[in-house]
A and B are shown apart, each in its own frame.
Chain A
Amino acid sequence: MPDHILRMRGITKEFPGVRALDDVNFDVERGTVHALVGENGAGKSTLMKVLSGVYPHGSYEGEILLDSRPCAFRGLRQSEAAGIVIIHQELALIPGMSISENVFLGNERARRGVIDWHATSDETVRLLEKVGLREDPDTPVNALGVGRQQLVEIAKALAKDVKLLILDEPTAALNETDSENLLRLLRDLRDHGITSILISHKLNEVMAVADAITILRDGRTIETLDVADGVDEDRVIRGMVGRDLDHRYPPRTPEIGDVLFEVEGWNVFHPTVPDRQVVRDASLTVRRGEIVGIAGLMGAGRTELAMSVFGRSYGQRISGTLRKDGRELHLATVGDAIAAGLAYVTEDRKELGLLLEEDIRRNVTLANLHRVSRRSVIDLHREVADAEGFLHRLRIKAPGVFTKTGNLSGGNQQKVVLSKWMYTNPDVLILDEPTRGIDVGAKYEIYTIVQGLAAEGKGVLLISSELPELLGMCDRIYVMSQGRITGELGRREATQEAVMRLMTNTPAVAR
């Protein structure tokens, strides 16, 4: 009889219009490292938010048993009190504070509100020893590298008497040595009786440390595999993608012309961490009339590649060559990129794409006001007429062009963003997750629009985390992993398994 520290039974969580988790069962045996894997959007994060009380008890169905006792967490504080600690991908440390202050943040060693600094320091030293970090506890956290900060996070968890440690993509930002250290630490902790749940896209790491692997897909538990039974990566990948193409794509006969746009030897470094390279030596081409996909998991560098190409709107120390119609482009600003015929539809339409307080009309014309103005004076009537044209052409469901974009549904917002970029009349469109969070009907309409643009002879670069979308839409797919392009697949060779293998490929250890 296995000894389960955690049992999650029949968890169902719904958001308006979406069932994020559907009757998920998840059991974790005490004293193991249990990996949770699945595509982006499979429900991993949602499940962990249910577990930790971020989605409070009552907002989901199903039950959670911790040490065989039912739990009804209403917030992070309660789940932490019960011994469950989550370490997120984005670290929750306060940069200017010292290690010891961070380790005991919210959990201060204090008597009647006065902090006992001796106890704090002593215990910090003890905890740092446990995680194998040799640093002065008074060192400010921002003087440490990301890998060491990660260890401080774990020390912080240990200070809370953690029983169940959840790590969400802990190695995404780490280099190889740091990753190995961290994985070794997970095994050490396991040997000291601490159970961990590891969420990771890097299957080689999962295979190296996990005792069991649970696969989620489309909000459902697919299976739980015991690593001791001799599971290999291919087996896991099959579980992650083994799904029918249940989305539909409009039929299309591509008419592909000459090479339109080329990126060659593209390198980008992180904007604030100058020695972290986020795109390495990437090269790609797009032909006229072609829809080219870029696949990759979160953090693979797809958005960073696109934004840095688009007038250097991301990163620093950017190098490489861009060519359009064989002529080299020098795009120092977004304005240059637009003038050169590029358009970039952002991944996050609310934060980066739209002026939510403004109406549809003003959003549509924003990137190309010159088209409706003469000597800098806008022809307001023509602007309305042009915006109404898009309203009808893209079937944006809104009372009129004076509707605030903040009041539209996700699909209609996305159509407004598309209109904005179609209004600049670009030759090359880069679409970053154009159908994220949109219902199936609107997706189909957006696919039709994108295909229409390709049929006009424009080149389309489609970044997507949904494999079926890439396979259904693209004539060719580049796959990125950890900043590199790890492969290029034509329409015929591109299967879910082949793409997933390249996506989870760690280039540094590629065989």
Chain B
Amino acid sequence: MTVVDRPATTPASSGGSAGPRLRGNLRQYGMIAALVVIVVLFEILTDGILLKPLNVTNLIMQNGYVLVLAIGMMLVIINREIDLSVGSVAAFVGAVTGVAIVNWGLPWPLVVVGALVTGGLIGAFQGFWIAYARIPAFIVTLGGMLLFRGLSMVVLQGQSIAPFPSGFRQLGSGFVPEFGAGDLHLVTILLGLAGAAVIVWNDWRSRARRREYGLAVPALQWFVLKAVAIVAVIVAFAWVLAVYQGLPIVGLVVIVLTAAYSFVTTSTVVGRHIYAVGGNERAAALSGIATKKTKFWVFVNMGVLAALAGLMFAARLNAATPKAGTNFELDAIAAAFIGGASASGGVGTVVGAIVGGLVMGVMNNGMSLLGLGVDWQQAIKGGVLMLAVAFDVYNKNKSK
């Protein structure tokens, strides 16, 4: 087999995947570019407040739970379904957690595990109706949205419950612990360096594996350039956080989840099945994929992530309230679509969902810093969502 007559491939993407698909990834690069433009724009408009260490830390803490939801929602949308219930499920799980920790005095780590299991069970309940009983997800989760909103009010009897023990609150507002005492948060810098090293090493190993299979390998200078860029961006980001109080726990959770779900979606059999079921359910079934089971587990997963988001929100607020999580589902859905998901299923990436969530988050934050009212913020975000999807549809039609 020769590799000479094949067009030169571009470097593999950062997740260690073999993705030299410049064309396929164009949309995602476009989204990252859009995010950079928005960041630069608000950085200028706010006279440099946006990227101040304090504000970057705030940005992460304000958006962590939406990003967690966006990851789960991306999988649901890739599966060609929708979940409207996640905000209510987050509220319900927060409510149960509040009652269990504050009223019953149960140890919080136990409650956290119980809360995630509860989320999974709720996801299984909804997933059963959607995957096996074939009731449209829109209807099932609309029902779930009302049901769990109502149940959170019942559980809390209409009141807020507070305060949480400090250990639990770390989940929403804590930072990665620091050893020693300096102005700079050393652990954060070390984590950044470690992360960058893992990515670069993965990329290097990927080159070796490609050679092993006789595949084309991008030029060495490409690899070096890319490695330098990755290290630079990550270290700069870590530095900004380290100057303040270090990496928030919320940020750590989001980074770990993004890495884990990226791996699952790009490199595992389960991930492949999720795309296949969403892209063409009947073809997937005829290829021996258990389509119903796949759908079911995607909703179980969404339930667990909704529970996690509920915990993070309650911890940050230091209270369980019946109004928690209002409109979270809409933020998560918007993040997924801005991040490149397709309403016809089978398309989208976890990183895209994060980028989409950050686009929304940076716009929220930037417009607040500018003193724009919530009314205008909503209107502008709505416009951006429509534009992003219209751009996507336009691109798709053009390529046909």
* Contacts from A to B (Cβ < 8 Å): 310-311, 313, 333-335, 337-338, 344, 346, 351-359, 362, 365-367, 369-370, 373, 376-385, 388-389, 392, 399-400, 402, 404, 407, 420
Contact = CB atoms under 8 A, between A and B. Distances in A.
Given A335-B290, A366-B276, A377-B267, A354 B283 contact: yes
Interface in B269-303: 269-270, 272, 275-276, 279-280, 282-290
A381 B269 contact: no
7 contacts: A313-B285, A355-B284, A376-B268, A377-B268, A380-B267, A381-B206, A400-B6
Given A356-B279, A400-B6, A334 B287 contact: yes
B199 to A, nearest CB: 16
B216 to A, nearest CB: 9
A192 B307 CA distance: 72
6 residue pairs, one from A and one from B, having the closest CB atoms: A385-B213, A367-B287, A380-B18, A355-B279, A335-B288, A381-B209
B268 A378 contact: yes
A382 B211 CA distance: 11
Given A373-B268, A400-B6, 6 more contacts: A359-B24, A366-B284, A376-B269, A378-B268, A378-B269, A400-B7
Contact of B21 (A352, A355, A402): A402
A355 B276 contact: yes
Contact of B270 (A310, A313, A357, A376): A376
B24 A402 contact: yes
Size class of the B contact interface (CB-based, 8 Å): 35 or more
Contacts of B280: 351-352, 354-356
B283 A352 contact: yes
A420 B213 contact: no
A379 B288 CA distance: 20
A385 B287 contact: no
A384 B215 contact: yes
Given A380-B17, A392-B1, A355 B209 contact: no
A362 B267 CA distance: 11
Given A352-B283, A355-B283, A385-B215, A373 B7 contact: no
Contacts, number: 111
Interface string B38-74: 0000000000000000000000000000000000000
A272 to B, nearest CB: 14
A381 B290 contact: no
Contact of A369 (B18, B269, B279, B290): B269
Contacts of A313: 285-286
Contacts of A392: 1
Interface in B221-269: 266-269
B11 interface: no
A355 B1 contact: no
A407 B267 CA distance: 24
B287 A402 contact: no
A385 to B, nearest CB: 4
Most chain A CB within 10 A, of B280, B288, B342, is at B288
A373 B9 CA distance: 23
A380 B225 CA distance: 23
Contacts of B17: 380
Contacts of B288: 311, 333-335, 337-338, 367
Interface in B299-346: 342, 346
Contacts of A383: 18
A385 B6 CA distance: 13
A388 B399 CA distance: 24
B210 interface: yes
Interface of B: 1, 6-7, 9, 17-18, 20-21, 23-24, 206, 209-210, 212-215, 266-270, 272, 275-276, 279-280, 282-290, 342, 346-347, 399
Contacts of B268: 373, 376-378
Contacts of B215: 381, 384-385, 388
A378 B276 CA distance: 15
Contacts of A407: 399
B39 to A, nearest CB: 30
Contacts of B283: 346, 351-355
Nearest to B346: A357
A171 B242 CA distance: 78
Contacts of B347: 357
A378 B274 CA distance: 14
Contacts of A357: 279, 342, 346-347
A399 B214 contact: no
Contacts of B21: 359, 402
A379 B267 CA distance: 7
B74 to A, nearest CB: 15
Nearest to A400: B6
A367 B269 CA distance: 11
A346 B7 CA distance: 32
Contacts of A384: 18, 210, 213, 215
A376 B268 CA distance: 6
A381 B24 contact: no
B213 A399 contact: no
A356 B6 CA distance: 22
Contacts of A358: 275-276, 279, 346
A344 B287 CA distance: 9
Contacts of B210: 381, 384
A355 B275 contact: yes
A111 to B, nearest CB: 38
A362 B278 CA distance: 14
Contact of A370 (B206, B213, B269): B269
Nearest to A381: B209
Contacts of A334: 285-289
Contact of A420 (B18, B212, B287): B287
A379 B342 CA distance: 27
Most chain A CB within 10 A, of B268, B270, B283, is at B283
A365 B276 CA distance: 11
B364 to A, nearest CB: 31
A366 B272 contact: yes
A389 B346 contact: no
Nearest to B18: A380
A404 B347 CA distance: 12
B204 to A, nearest CB: 13
B246 to A, nearest CB: 33
A171 B287 CA distance: 34
Nearest to A361: B18
Contacts of A402: 20-21, 23-24
